[in-house]
Amino acid sequence: MKKVYVETLGCQMNKSDSERIIGILSHFGYEETQIPEDADFLIINTCSIRQLSADKAYSRVGVWGKWKRQGKRKGKYIKIAFCGCVAQQDKEKLLKRFPFIDLVFGTNNIYELPELLKRINKGERVCATPEKPYIADETQFEIKRAKSFNAWIPIMEGCDNFCTYCIVPFTRGRERSRTPEKIIFEAKKAIKNGFKEITLLGQNVDSYGKGLGDNITLANLLRELNKIDGRFRIRFVTSYPTDISDDLIQAVKECDKVCEYFHIPMQSGNTALLKDMNRRYTREEYGDIVKKIRNTFEDVTITSDFIAGFPGETQEQFNDTLSAIDEFELDYSNTAAYSPREKTKAARWVDKFIDEETKMQRLAVLNEKNREACIKSNKKFVGKTLEVLVESAEKRNGKTILASRAGNNKIVHFEGSEDLVGTFQNTKITRASTWHLFGELV
């Protein structure tokens, strides 16, 4: 058997794509390895969200190029493929820039891999990055899921929002949704195979179903998935603030398997800046949605994403971001310094760019605010009982410490037997640290 190594950068959508890639390759005589040095086929699945992520891909593949040359001298012929969001963006340029790459394939044609493989094995160098929107929807191949309890299931792909900073509409194309039948089929299979959690993925999960018919919405999909027999949980990411409908909140409330957790990126706490970002809500509208959700669920957590140093951001506007984290009691936020992306609107506003030093300084302040918010959020749960799914066990000072995740996505550590891995348990929270909770088995 030949060995394939896949390195995945980027979001859960990319991780899910990699699981499908490995699944397909395993039908064609490849076995996955975790050791890149052992592989006959090296694949890098790339992310283009910031320049930093793209640069990581270029430097990694550069190392592989050296291995390929060294291998050849010893009679070992390895193949190298470059896929994902940077591939979708750079296309043929990659074959020119990196003469050792055999295959470039985009986010739209993972399921053409068997054909592409034949061509590169004949010695051809191939670039396959069609513009036609396509959804990773084949069900004929097994998916090699990376996690043992959580199954990622893409429900929609692409984005029509064109936020002025964001590359995703260019790398993932226009929004398209999978049919409920395909999704339910995949979910049932995962649950039958022992998965305890399914996470529905999409760049904007709450606009799921657009174009498929009136009753096909995320809310109704959750209701259908909730009917599947078995003990498991359902999650969904990522939500666009103003696309969260009352019906969706209602569905989360009525479906016992759906977790009380919302990831709702705000990006900035300042309305004028939000407008420049082409986000279609004001600071107040974002707050209203958060309040509605908090009033509906007791132990809900709401997480967010923020960008520091967007073109034209003043110190006052940046302060609005800090105060939004406090005002809306956001439980955790992903943070990033603004990175100009080719083709996007904001990348052309060079005269409004914030200098690197200010950007980095704001990012540090933002991270500190996030840390504070996290401790505050964790402390809210001390004394409460949370139901958790046990994910792993580790020996520490002669004790077995279990790492688990609550429905609201909080990580809870507690002492217990290793057999509990993969089961649902109740834990009473005794202590909070910055990023975790500590508890005891009830």
At position 355, the amino acid (one-letter code) is D
Q: Would you state the structure tokens that stand for residue 178, as one six-digit string?
A: 């999978």
Candidates 11, 156, 325, 336: give the one binding ligand F3S (CB under 6 A): 11
Candidates 4, 44, 85, 437: give the one binding ligand F3S (CB under 6 A): 85
> Shortest Cβ distance from residue 168 to ligand F3S (Å)?
5
- Considering the complex, state which of residue 195 and residue 240 has its C-beta at the smaller distance from ligand SF4: 240
Among ligand F3S, ligand SAH, ligand SF4, none, partner that 50 touches (CB below 5 to 8 angstroms by kind): ligand SAH
Q: Contact between 116 and ligand F3S (CB under 6 A)?
A: no
Q: Contact between 39 and ligand SF4 (CB under 6 A)?
A: no
> Shortest Cβ distance from residue 173 to ligand SF4 (Å)?
11
Cα-atom radius of gyration of the chain, to the nearest Å? 23
- Kindly determine how many residues on this chain lie close enough to bind ligand SAH according to the rule CB under 6 A: 17
The contact mask relative to ligand SF4 for 239-268 (x = CB under 6 A, - = no) is: -x----------------------------
Q: Contact between 281 and ligand SAH (CB under 6 A)?
A: no
**Cα dist from 153 to 19, 200, 228, 302, 320, whole Å:** 11, 5, 15, 21, 35
> Shortest Cβ distance from residue 222 to ligand SF4 (Å)?
21
Among ligand SF4, ligand SAH, ligand F3S, none, partner that 307 touches (CB below 5 to 8 angstroms by kind): ligand SAH
Q: Contact between 334 and ligand SF4 (CB under 6 A)?
A: no
Candidates 42, 44, 47, 49: give the one binding ligand SAH (CB under 6 A): 49
Q: Contact between 225 and ligand SAH (CB under 6 A)?
A: no
Q: Contact between 12 and ligand SF4 (CB under 6 A)?
A: no
- Considering the complex, state which of residue 166 and residue 289 has its C-beta at the smaller distance from ligand SF4: 166
The contact mask relative to ligand F3S for 142-181 (x = CB under 6 A, - = no) is: -------------------------xx--xx---------
The contact mask relative to ligand F3S for 373-392 (x = CB under 6 A, - = no) is: --------------------
Candidates 54, 168, 201, 300: give the one binding ligand SF4 (CB under 6 A): 168
Among ligand SAH, ligand F3S, ligand SF4, none, partner that 81 touches (CB below 5 to 8 angstroms by kind): none
Q: Contact between 47 and ligand F3S (CB under 6 A)?
A: yes
**In contact, 98 and 92? CB cutoff 8 Å:** no
> Shortest Cβ distance from residue 265 to ligand SAH (Å)?
3
Candidates 33, 161, 242, 282: give the one binding ligand SF4 (CB under 6 A): 161
3-state per-residue secondary structure call for the chain: CEEEEEEECCCHHHHHHHHHHHHHHHCCCEEECCCHHHCCEEEEEECCCCHHHHHHHHHHHHHHHHHHHHHHHCCCCCEEEEEEHHHHHHCCHHHHHCCCCCEEECCCCHHHHHHHHHHHHCCCCEEECCCCCCCCCCCCCCCCCCCCCEEEEECEECCCCCCCCCCHHHHHCCCEECCHHHHHHHHHHHHHCCCCEEEEECCCHHHCCCCCCCCCCHHHHHHHHHCCCCCCEEEEECCCHHHCCHHHHHHHHHCCCECCEEECCCECCCHHHHHHCCCCCCHHHHHHHHHHHHHHCCCCEEEEEEEECCCCCCHHHHHHHHHHHHHCCCCEEEEEECCCCCCCCHHHCHHHCCCHHHHHHHHHHHHHHHHHHHHHHHHCCCCCEEEEEEEEEEEECCEEEEEEEECCCCEEEEECCHHHCCCEEEEEEEEECCCCEEEEEC
**In contact, 100 and 80? CB cutoff 8 Å:** yes
Q: Contact between 338 and ligand SAH (CB under 6 A)?
A: yes
- Report the alpha-carbon distance of residue 367 to residue 286 in Å, rounded: 21
Q: Contact between 162 and ligand SF4 (CB under 6 A)?
A: yes
Among ligand SF4, ligand F3S, ligand SAH, none, partner that 169 touches (CB below 5 to 8 angstroms by kind): ligand SF4
Cis, bond preceding 238 (omega within 30 deg of 0): yes
Residues within the interface to ligand F3S (CB under 6 A): 10-11, 13-14, 47-49, 84-85, 167-168, 171-172
Residues within the interface to ligand SAH (CB under 6 A): 49-50, 165-166, 168, 203-204, 238, 240, 265, 267, 305, 307, 336, 338-339, 341
Residues within the interface to ligand SF4 (CB under 6 A): 159, 161-163, 166, 168-169, 203-204, 240
